[in-house]
Amino acid sequence: MADNKIRVALTGNPNVGKTTLFNVITGSKQHVGNWPGVTVEKKSGFKIYKGYEIEVIDLPGTYSLTAYSLDEVVARDFIVDEKPDVVIQIVDATNIERNLYLTTQLMELGSKMIIALNMYDLAEERGDKLNVEKMKEILAMPVVCTIASDNVGISELLDTVISEKQKDDHHAWRIGYGDEIESKILEIEKVLSQDSELASKYPLRWLAVRLLDGDENILNKISGSIIASEIKNILASLDIEEYEALMADKRYECINALFPQMCERCMTRMTTSDMIDRVMTNKYLGIPIFLALMWGAFELTFSFASPFMTIVEKIFLWLGEMAAIHIHPDWLASLLGEGIIGGVGSVFSFIPNIFILFFLLSLLEDSGYLARAAFIVDRIMYKIGLQGKSFIPMLLGFGCNVPAIMATRSIEDRMDRMATIMVLPFISCGARLPIYILFAGTFFSKNAGTVIFCIYLLGILVAVTSAKLLRTTTLKGHPAPFILELPPYRIPTIKNGIRHMWDNGSMYIKKAGTIIMGGSVVIWLLAALPWGVEYGSENSFIGIIGHSIQPLLGPLGFDWKISVSLLFGFVAKEIVVASLGVLYGVGDDHFALTDSLLADPNMHSITALSLMVFSLLYMPCIAVVGIIKKETGSWKWTAFSIAYGLIVAWLLAFVVFQGGMLLI
Amino acid sequence: MVESTLNDLRPGEKARIVKVLAKGTVRRKLMDMGMVPGSEVEVVRTAPLGDPIEFRIKGYSLSMRKQEAANIVVETIA
Amino acid sequence: MEHYSGRLKEKMLFASFTGLLYVLAGSIQLFFSLCTMMDLCNMSYFKSDIADLLFAPSDLIGSLILLLIGSIFIYGMLDLRNGSNEGIAYIYVGILISLLFAAVYVLVMTGNWMDSYLLNDPEIKGWDFVNDLRPAIYLGALPLCGYLIWKKEFGNMNK
Ligand SMILES: Nc1nc2c(ncn2[C@@H]2O[C@H](COP(=O)(O)OP(=O)(O)O)[C@@H](O)[C@H]2O)c(=O)[nH]1
Ligand SMILES: [Mg+2]
């Protein structure tokens, strides 16, 4: 049985086409989850090929296996602990030299390896002359040319996987580190071999090399062993930093010596990518272009999505009506129609935004512009205590804070990451948009767009100020170093965009959907109980709660209805609108709600403004709280995030409302 | 041949790395990215706001802040 | 890069013409949108059907984008005139970005059209093609021509 099952791990540098290859191989048979214990995404999938069941695991993209970041630890541990049958390293054919650095490290892990020489089309187009046969010979492992984006070379790759699996032995080529280091490696290896358990689990040479490389992660791994102290003694007698440099040197030296044989004519001329960059990062034009592109993405996400949102809303409205007509008794119809269908509706009405946003982000990322964005804004982000890489999560935050906070994983430094997570909830996510649309649309009809834009700006401003504040207090210190590859510009593919959009969209439904729906049912129950009370009236539970917190919010201009809906905005911000609909007794009907709001003497434009400011800032929704807890691993930080948001929101809304009243 | 640090070079200038002074993870990261003694580096450009700097090394583009670049000792070549 | 120089004049002409048109349209629109926004001047005085039709008076960001695109082209033209072939890059990117924004506006227009026609949304009942017509859309025809003419050349730039 085990014979026709093959486990294949995909590794490689970032941006070499790993995900593309993974998608091409597994098609739709894939599963996205997390690596156990850590918050790095794990993608695995299956492929039935020539009677074999091939399991493919997409490891995080890394430049090396030196355990600099969580991604690297995950990738490495998978290969050494889980021992996949075959490891495929995807190598960017246009950047072989640096890619081979990872190869030199992978080889030491002692698994069967295949090189997939991807982006072969780009290398050829550039005029490179790659000697694949020579490469196979030198590296002593199969090399398969692929063009993942065009589905070229995939079956050959899979054939190679099968034949590798059947081979008993595997390649023996390895880097020689020179006499001095080699003698140390041998010495350590000898000590390590005394622990037979260790010896059966890991390749000893690799362990020795890692230890000489000053790898703390490996030190921890062997700390339980009987030989731990002996190893520590040996290491203590050496200048590890020196060794580290020497070994990195050796690896590159080796590559330098071999590389010219593999690639006879590799181009390093001014390419299209350089030309584009000249403009995109131009001293004067770079920033305006950046802002314009961001604005364009923003405009599309929100304007182009609107008809789709309307369609979804209409469908759910119709479903609700159907429920009201066909279901008896009335309370059940109401629970289904207003509570559940309304709740599901508010989850889904929101999908178009999220889908378009992730589609555009994927285009930006695949085109290579996102890295330039980090390059361009790093100076500013650094000034406010964050770094260029924080920008991408912040941008994602405009769609939904949940994936945004997950995206902070690309920030290696923990302090940088914490600071980014803490300020992210101030970035106005799409879920808050329905609130702005309702109130800006109702009270500022002519200037609704401008008002909403200003609210977004305010969110950014608060985030920036908070970052600065955090950096001078709790998270004192400078942001971590910024060392970022700027990948060449490429024409992004629609297919990738759609997949990215689908993955993230469905994640949103799963993560946020259940909570939002649950919230809608709770709101319905609170509004309908105690038994017999008029739905959503002042005597219902909801009215009672609203009245009791209203004094706190009175100075901001909010009456009990608003207080209630804000309370339920804790569950998910878009529920604010849904619950106002319930409270005004108009259900899902947007236009009736607009009319009711305009007719309400308590509501005027200043209240609306104050309310928008408050909803922008007051606290992350439950889904975000959950993800903050998960990503920071600390209840203290989670509580801090909630409390800080509430305080800032109250203060600013107070200023807006009282200031506005004075001006009128 | 003049020795200086990488942040002092102007766009278009080329240099060979002599020594990496950084410590700890920064050092490791720099090595992983190919910033090892002997490698050739070319300064491509600075970001619109003057920092970070983009370098070309081993045929690809790498960017880093001036403060990181200041830890890399180089000798300029023609 | 030698083979570019033969058609350099053509490109300079194209860049300056396109650039100036964008800058012109951008400035006019900027003026109108500032007026509308701040009520600085009596709009009815300036208000003509033409301005309304061509410049969507209250689109401040749109006007800034037009100015940006215009400056990219002009930047490229100046670079070419100074004998630097890098100017080509600016023209290339200028074309890309202007087409990108034309596409953005067309998509937004499609969205609004769908809203009103497909769904009979009473809110924007009076949707009219003209309401959403932005300078970025019709001016986009020019860079589109440029793109079609020099497509091959741009594609070959990495050789
Ligand atoms: N021309 C070309 N582009 C490719 C190839 N493989 C992937 N790409 C593109 O390279 C970009 C990065 O690919 P991706 O799979 O996201 O890389 P990852 O970061 O390693 O997962 C995408 O825009 C792909 O469409 C290839 O073989 N040829
Ligand atoms: Mg990927």
pLDDT for A267-277, tens place per residue?
Answer: 555 577 888 88
In this predicted structure, the answer to whether residue A41 has a pLDDT above a threshold of 80 is no
How far is it, in rounded angstroms, from Cα A90 to Cα A103?
Answer: 10
Report d(CA A336, CA A342) in Å as an integer: 8
Strand A112-118 and strand A86-92: the pairing is: parallel
Could you tell me which residue, C17 or C136, shows the higher pLDDT? C17
Residue in the block written with tokens 């695995």: A44
Is residue C128 assigned to a domain?
Answer: yes
- Evaluate whether residue C1 is within a structural domain: no
Instruction: Say if CB A642 and CB A606 are below 8 A apart.
Output: no
pLDDT value, residue A238: 83
φ, ψ (nearest 5 deg) of residue A455:
-60, -45
Cα distance from C131 to chain A (closest Cα, Å)? 15
* Res A38: pLDDT: 54
CA distance linking residue A229 with residue A237, whole number of Å: 13
How far is the C-alpha of A449 from the C-alpha of A299, rounded, in Å? Answer: 11
- Residue to mutate among C104, C113, C116, C147, with most A CBs inside 10 A, is C104
- Is residue A373 packed enough to be buried (19+ CB in 10 Å), middle (13-18) or exposed (0-12)? buried
Measured between beta carbons, which residues in chain B are less than 8 angstroms from residue A284? 48
Are C68 and A285 an interchain contact pair (Cβ–Cβ within 8 Å)?
yes
Say if residues A592 and A643 touch (Cβ distance below 8 Å): no
Residue A568 has pLDDT above 50, yes or no: yes
- 10 Å CB burial of residue C140 (0-12, 13-18, 19+) is buried
Which stretch, A343-352, A572-581, A584-593, C91-100, has highest mean pLDDT? Answer: C91-100
Given an 8 Å threshold on Cβ–Cβ distance, is B49 in contact with A245?
no
Give residue A156's domain range.
5-166
Pocket test for ligand 1, best of A11, A19, A20, A363 (most atoms within 8 A of CB): A20
DSSP-based three-state secondary structure for C140: coil
Whether the complex's predicted ipTM surpasses the cut of 0.90 = yes
- Chain B 7-26, CB below 8 Å of chain A: which residues? 20, 23, 25-26
Task: Say if B and C touch: at least 3 Cβ pairs within 8 Å.
Answer: no
Beta-carbon separation of B62 and A286 below 8 A: no
Q: Residue A415 has which token pair?
A: 């302090």
A23 CA distance to ligand 2 middle (Å): 10
The three-class DSSP label of residue B54 is strand
pLDDT in tens, A593-635: 777 788 877 788 888 899 999 999 987 777 788 778 877 878 8
Q: Which CATH number do you get for residue A127?
A: 3.40.50.300
Tell me the CA distances in angstroms from C94 to A488, C30, C32, C69, one per residue in order: 19, 20, 25, 6
Checking if the pLDDT of C39 tops 90, the result is: no
Q: Is A177 on the interface with B (CB under 8 A)?
A: no
| A57 and A129 together in one domain | yes
Residues with CB under 6 A from ligand 1: A 12, 14-20, 61, 118-119, 121-122, 147-149, 366, 490, 492-493, 496
Give the domain CATH number at A204.
1.10.287.1770
State yes or no: cis peptide before A530, omega within 30 of 0: yes
Instruction: Please tell me the predicted confidence (pLDDT) of residue A1.
Output: 43
CA distance A148 to chain C (A): 21
Distance CA C12, CA A117 (A): 41
> What's the half-sphere exposure (Cβ side, CA atoms, 13 Å) at A587?
22
C104 to chain A nearest CA, in Å?
7
Which letter does DSSP use for residue A477 in this model? S
What number of other Cβ atoms are within 10 A of residue A394's Cβ?
24
Q: How many domains does chain A have?
A: 2
CB contact under 8 A, A376 and B33: no
- Cβ pair B45, B53 in contact under 8 A: yes
Please state the domain count of chain C. Answer: 1
Shared domain for A88 and A183, answered yes or no, is no
A151-180 pLDDT, tens per residue?
999 999 999 999 888 887 666 667 788 888
| Mean local confidence (pLDDT), A400-404 | 75
Q: Which residues of A touch B25 (CB under 8 A)?
A: 68, 412
Query: Which residues make beta-bridge pairs with B76?
Result: B15
Q: Are residues A113 and A216 in the same domain?
A: no
Q: Tell me, yes or no, whether A223 and A112 share the same domain.
A: no
Are A19 and A58 in contact by the 8 Å Cβ rule? The answer is yes
- Report DSSP letters for A343-412, one per residue: HHHHHHTTHHHHHHHHHHHHHHHHHTHHHHHHHHHHHHHHHTT--GGGHHHHHHHTT-HHHHHHHGGG--
Residues A402 and A621: their CA atoms lie apart, in Å, by 9
Q: Measured in angstroms, how far is the CA atom of residue A16 from the centroid of ligand 2?
A: 8
DSSP labels for A114-168? Answer: EEEEE-HHHHHHHT-EE-HHHHHHHHTS-EEE-BGGGTBSHHHHHHHHHHHHH-S
**A310 contacts C121? CB cut-off 8 A:** yes
Q: List the CATH number of the domain containing B36.
A: 2.30.30.90
Tokens at A467, concatenated: 């970052």
Secondary structure letter of residue C122 according to DSSP:
G
C19, C156, C149: which is closest to C81 by C-alpha?
C19
Could you tell me if A77 and A44 lie in one domain? Answer: yes
Tokens of A385: 């205590």
- Which of A490, A491, A498, A501 to mutate to test ligand 1, by most ligand atoms within 8 A of the CB atom? A490
Domain range for residue B25?
3-77
| Average of per-residue pLDDT values in chain A | 82
Phi, psi of A614 (to 5 degrees): -65, -45
Contact A289 C72 (CB under 8 A): yes
Closest in A64, A95, A282 to B32, CB measured? A64
Report whether pLDDT(C122) > 70.
Answer: no
Q: At what angle do helices C8-38 and C141-155 cross, to 10 degrees?
A: 140
In a domain, C121, yes or no: yes
The last residue of one of the domains, among A118, A141, A166, is: A166
Q: Using DSSP, state whether A217 is helix, strand or coil.
A: helix
**Average pLDDT of the residues in A139-152:** 91
Does position A354 have pLDDT exceeding 90, yes or no? no
Q: Which of residues 578-637 of A touch C (CB under 8 A)?
A: 591
pLDDT digits (tens, 9 = 90+) for A295-352: 888 778 767 877 887 788 788 888 888 887 887 777 777 777 777 777 777 667 767 8
Q: Indicate which of A266, A269, A278 best probes the interface with C, i.e. most C CBs within 10 Å of its own CB.
A: A278
Task: Give yes or no for A288 touching C (CB within 8 A).
Answer: yes
Selected residue with higher pLDDT from C80 and C58: C80
Q: Identify the residue with better confidence: C125 or A182.
A: A182
Position B70 scores a pLDDT of 93
Which CB contacts under 8 angstroms, 24+ apart, belong to A153-157?
A153/A116, A153/A120, A154/A21, A154/A24, A154/A25, A155/A49, A157/A25, A157/A88, A157/A114, A157/A116
- Ligand 2 centroid from CA C101, angstroms: 27
Span A22-32, mean pLDDT? Answer: 78
State mean pLDDT over A569-584.
Answer: 75
Mean pLDDT (chain C) is 78
On whether both A132 and A212 belong to a single domain, the answer is no
CA B11 – ligand 1 centroid, Å? 29
Q: What pLDDT is recorded for position A288?
A: 94
Q: Are residues A189 and A105 in the same domain?
A: no
Question: A59 C-alpha to center of ligand 2: Å?
Answer: 9
Is residue C2 in some structural domain? no
What is residue C2's predicted lDDT score, i.e. its pLDDT? 43
Please indicate if any CB of chain A lies within 8 Å of the CB of B47. yes
> B32, A249: Cβ pair inside 8 Å?
no
Q: Measure the N-to-C terminal CA separation of chain A; round to a whole number of Å.
A: 80
Q: Specify the DSSP element, H or E, that contains A208.
A: helix A204-212
Structurally, chain B folds into a number of domains equal to: 1
Q: What is the mean pLDDT of residues B73-78?
A: 88
Contacts by residues A18-23 (CB-CB < 8 Å, ≥ 24 positions apart): A18/A58, A18/A59, A18/A61, A18/A90, A19/A43, A19/A58, A19/A496, A20/A148, A20/A149, A20/A496, A21/A90, A21/A116, A21/A118, A21/A146, A21/A148, A21/A154, A22/A56, A22/A58, A23/A496, A23/A499
Q: Report which ligand 1 atom has the smallest distance to the Cα of A147.
A: 27
Q: What's the mean pLDDT in A180-193? A: 88
Q: Cα separation of A359 and A633, whole Å?
A: 30
Domain boundary at A238, A261, A276, which? A238
Is the per-residue pLDDT at A237 higher than 80?
yes
What is the distance between the alpha carbons of residues A51 and A166, in angstroms, rounded to a whole number? Answer: 14
What's the Cα-to-Cα distance from C128 to each of A179, A369, A490, rounded to whole Å?
A: 80, 35, 37
Give yes or no: residues A39 and A119 share one domain.
yes
Residue A109 sits in the same domain as residue A32: yes
What is the per-residue pLDDT for C159? 33
Check B52 against A244: CB less than 8 A apart.
no
Respond yes or no on whether the N-terminal peptide bond of residue B52 is cis (omega within 30° of 0).
Answer: yes
Q: Which residue has the higher pLDDT, A109 or C131?
A: A109
- Enclosing domain of residue C55: 7-154
Domain-located, residue C159: no
Q: Are residues A152 and A20 in the same domain?
A: yes
Over residues A222-243, mean pLDDT: 83
Question: Once rounded to an integer, what is the mean pLDDT over residues A552-565?
Answer: 84
Which of A356, A322, A309 has the alpha carbon at shortest distance from C123?
Answer: A309
Ligand 1 centroid to residue A20 C-alpha, Å: 6
Residue B68 has pLDDT above 60, yes or no: yes
Same domain, A160 and A202: no
Interchain contact B61–A (C-beta under 8 A): yes
Task: Annotate A249-307 with DSSP letters as a single string.
Answer: HHHHHHHHHHHHHHEEE---S--HHHHHHHHHT-TTTHHHHHHHHHHHHHHIIIIITHH
Task: Locate A634 and state its tokens.
Answer: 């600390």
**pTM strictly above 0.90:** no
* Contact yes or no for A372/A280 (Cβ under 8 A): yes
CA–CA dist A48, A56 (Å, integer)? 11
Query: Sorting pLDDT into bands at 50, 70 and 90, what band is C17?
Result: very high
Chain B CB contacts of A484 below 8 Å: 52, 62-64
Residue A3, pLDDT above cutoff 60: yes
Residue A379 lies in a domain: no
* Rounded distance between C-alpha atoms, residue C13 and residue A90, angstroms: 46
Percent of chain A with pLDDT over 90: 17
Residues A146 and A203 in one domain: no
Question: Which residues of chain A does B23 touch, with a Cβ-Cβ cutoff of 8 Å?
Answer: 241
**Which has the closest alpha carbon to A25: A114, A156, A121?**
A156
> What's the confidence (pLDDT) of residue B1?
65
DSSP for C60-111, please give it. HHHHHHHHHHHHHHHHHHHHHHTT-TTHHHHHHHHHHHHHHHHHHHHHHHHH
Question: What's the confidence (pLDDT) of residue C55?
Answer: 64
Q: Kindly give the interhelix angle for A514-528 and A541-553, rounded to the nearest 10 degrees.
A: 100
Please state the rounded mean pLDDT for residues C128-132: 67
A271 touches chain C (CB under 8 A): yes
The Cα A300–Cα A353 span in angstroms is 9
The shortest CB-CB distance from A307 to any of C104, C115, C154 is to C115
CA A19 to centroid of ligand 1, rounded, Å: 7
